[in-house]
Amino acid sequence: MNPKNKTIIVTGGGNGMGRAMVLNLLKRGARVAAVDMRESALEETKLLSAENAGNLSVHVLDITDKAAVEKFPEIVMEAHGAVDGLINNAGIIQPFVRVNDLEFSAIERVMNVNFYGLLYMVKAFLPHFLKRPEAHIVNISSMGGFLPVPGQSVYGASKAAVKLLSEGLYGELMNSNVKVSVVFPGAIGTNITTNSGVNIPNMPEAGSSKIKTLSPEKAAEIIISGMEKNKVRIYAGNDSLLMNYLYRLSPGFATRFIGKQMKSLLK
């Protein structure tokens, strides 16, 4: 779907990849409703939108609050008149520990944000999308959604759920006016660790020589261009493409390879 003159919602629009997608969409002529839990982050996104600020509305919303999400379509339509697209980008990681050491409170938080929050947004807006001439849902999964990452097993489970939900939606909607894409980012240079409230002692900083990351701006360009081309699966980063190939070729080898890379973080 060409985003020009369309209204698109972006969750997690206050920073990182979400902010980059908001700004990318605005430059392409879209109207954008940016969603985040932090008002200050949204105001910074609005400031960065510069001359395109007139096409941007910002909304403080907890996507895990089902009742608030159910009311949200009316708010967006009041601001923009109609809605044509939804990019479910908001997500968090878990503490970098084994499942045996992971508290249920952390498990529930990850699942609520990464899966249920996304599902609430889809359910809230899909009835409206089905009435539009065309619409598009983009769900951000993860490289960890198709490849097991020790120390992020529940995060991976939440993103695998996003993957299969998106593929199921694609199958259900393939003969409708609503397109569905699922995105598998690799390592992106964002502050997701801090935003998730997670402290990982041995984690190299994004952009350091020990970890190569894709910039949020480049990831946004890949994702929005993929949406424009109606791609069903979008891989953001060469690491995601490579690990998808390796995992399909030899799941055991790929799992052992990732396990070795993550070993130091699980000490």
Q: What is the pLDDT averaged over residues 237-266?
A: 92
Percent of residues in the chain assigned helix, strand, coil, to nearest 5: 55, 15, 30
Domains of the chain from N-terminus onward = 7-190+205-266 (3.40.50.720)
Q: Residue 261: which pLDDT band, with cuts at 50, 70 and 90?
A: confident
pLDDT of 255 higher than 90 = yes
How far apart are alpha carbons 250 and 253 in whole angstroms?
5
Residue pair 110/162 in contact (Cβ under 8 Å)? The answer is no
Catalytic-residue membership of 120: no
Over residues 166-208, the pLDDT tens digits come to 999 999 999 999 999 999 999 998 676 666 666 655 555 444 4
CA 109, distance to chain mean position in Å, is 16
Confidence band of 209 (pLDDT split at 50, 70, 90): very low
Average pLDDT rounded to a whole number, residues 212-234: 96
Query: Which residue out of 155, 170, 235, 247 is catalytically annotated?
Result: 155
pTM score, two decimals?
0.93
